Amino acid sequence: MEVEVQLADVPQIEGDAGKGVTVPVFQENTEAPVLGQQQWEAIHERRSRGLSISGIARELDLDRKTVRSCLQQAAWAPYRRVEASSLLDPHRQWLAQRAPEVDYSARILWQELRSQRAFTGSYVIVRRAVVPLRVEATVAALTQRRFETGPGEQAQCDWGQVTVSLGGVRTKVQVFVMTLGYSRRGFALGFLRQRMPDLLAAHEAAFAHFGGRCETLLYDRMRTVVLGSAEGRTRLNATFAAFAEHWGFTPRLCQPYRAQTKGKVESGVKYVKRNFVPGRTFSSLEDFNEQLAAWQIEIADVRDHGTTHQRPIDRFAEEAQALVPTADHASFLQAMVRDRVVADDWLVAIDGNRYSVPFMLIGRTVQVVREGGTWVIRHRGAVVAEHPVLAGRSQLSVQPEHGPGASSRNARQRYAAPSAHAAGVPTRDVEVRDLAVYEQLLSSANVEISA
């Protein structure tokens, strides 16, 4: 095709300097010509009337190559640009999933691609690929409608972590938060871990706090709730599924990488971190939860909520009537029977603490159930041991009559009160026994240790 350019744009031709003349410049097309459907039909119509390629080109002001290429097409097809391949192509899916998690930082994504995924491309390639993802997320945030639920329909649950002073020691406390979707009234409780017993205990405490439960509870994909997905179906943790069935609520899960779906509880977690925690110190975890409970009643429940512009406690008056009552419902934790294998030191581990059973049950499986403030341990249906529930972790409860020498003791020894140091001996882990434990066990069994 011919285009005209000013002489100043091309090398000067001798004898034409300063005349401002134009010269033809031929440029090679790098892409196929673009023809609309009407032009395509016009070319084929004229060809059917017997016009030559040159005649059609003159009549429609087209290049002969364009006419010839069009006549070779059996049907019209819209133009599509052929995308050039990129080093980033094998990583597109990973990039779309990872970008929101690092706040669309091209620098971080480029570093991770190079260190974790053997990417050899430049930072510029990644930066260009992130731009449309960031724009899409921004548009989605601007157009996103807040999902509102009616009274008693849904509550949202999540964990948050705070670092506070417990008895002068900097400690990470895991805070469970449940937020009612309609009233925005929240419940929060601190734990040292996010284990299954902690999660279930937090739920039961929340139900007691609200006096009932919602029809559905929304979660992210925490491992204590969901184990994963297979063949497009989500598989719930078996214990949590039994817990949900016991209480009669329906668990719902956020879509992957869409944490904003549970924005109400996310806001609740941030509120605890920013309003309750700053400037406070605590003597213990129990003191932390006592102050947290008072803060919820005195501050959180009676503030003007930024979205509803009402006090949560006022809207809760309407929502409370729609909650499913839970006051007369048996505790799942107390009703749950747990199997435990008796260790060689005739102890069983329960929630991080250890309790003795008769030594002849070493290697046997026993069943443990909580009844009020007592652990009841059974073997083949018969009660073999009862222990008060110990607070905290790494504590030890040993009853002397469970030891190997119990049958040979006289009545005074058998029923004497345990020594002062028998109340509890902290150890590092359930599987790793402190030597003091064995000394206590042997002492209670009246066995003399020789040097």
**Is 80 a member of any domain?**
no
- Measure Cα distances from 26 to 2, 3, 19, 20, 53 in Å: 5, 7, 21, 19, 22
Task: Name the domain boundary from 299, 325, 351.
Answer: 325
Question: Based on the domain organization, do 161 and 309 belong to the same domain?
Answer: yes
Question: Based on the domain organization, do 299 and 182 belong to the same domain?
Answer: yes
- Measure Cα distances from 183 to 162, 234, 321 in Å: 25, 30, 12
Of 208, 239, 245, the C-alpha closest to 328 is 208
pLDDT value of residue 139? 65
Domain count, the chain: 4
**Is 46 a member of any domain?**
yes
As averages over each run of 10 residues, the pLDDT of the chain (451 residues) reads: 39 42 40 68 88 88 87 77 72 88 88 90 90 78 60 92 94 95 94 91 94 93 80 80 93 68 80 92 93 95 89 94 91 84 91 90 92 89 93 86 64 43 40 56 50 40
pLDDT value of residue 81? 55
Cα–Cα distance, 369 to 359 (Å, whole number): 20
pLDDT value of residue 147? 60
Question: Based on the domain organization, do 185 and 315 belong to the same domain?
Answer: yes
Question: Based on the domain organization, do 106 and 66 belong to the same domain?
Answer: no
Cα–Cα distance, 185 to 183 (Å, whole number): 5
Task: Name the domain boundary from 273, 296, 325.
Answer: 325
Question: Based on the domain organization, do 220 and 291 belong to the same domain?
Answer: yes
Question: Based on the domain organization, do 54 and 112 belong to the same domain?
Answer: no
- Measure Cα distances from 349 to 58, 90, 361, 377 in Å: 93, 48, 14, 11
**Is 310 a member of any domain?**
yes
What's 174's domain CATH number?
Answer: 3.30.420.10
Question: Based on the domain organization, do 170 and 138 belong to the same domain?
Answer: no
- Residue 355's Cβ-count burial label (10 Å; 0-12, 13-18, 19+) is buried
Task: Name the domain boundary from 14, 45, 71.
Answer: 71
What's 49's domain CATH number?
Answer: 1.10.10
Q: According to DSSP H, which parts of 83-165 are helical?
A: 92-98, 106-116, 123-143
Question: Based on the domain organization, do 413 and 438 belong to the same domain?
Answer: yes
Cα–Cα distance, 208 to 330 (Å, whole number): 12
Range of the domain at 163: 154-325
pLDDT value of residue 17? 42
**Is 217 a member of any domain?**
yes
pLDDT value of residue 406? 52
pLDDT value of residue 28? 40
Question: Contact, 270 vs 260, CB < 8 A?
Answer: no
Question: Based on the domain organization, do 136 and 171 belong to the same domain?
Answer: no
Question: Based on the domain organization, do 321 and 359 belong to the same domain?
Answer: no
**Is 53 a member of any domain?**
yes
Reduce the DSSP state of residue 191 to 3 states and report it.
strand
Radius of gyration of the CA atoms of the chain, in A:
37
**Is 451 a member of any domain?**
no
Question: Based on the domain organization, do 304 and 239 belong to the same domain?
Answer: yes
Pairing relationship of beta strands 365-371 and 22-26 according to DSSP bridges = unpaired
**Is 191 a member of any domain?**
yes
**Is 331 a member of any domain?**
no
Question: Based on the domain organization, do 292 and 343 belong to the same domain?
Answer: no
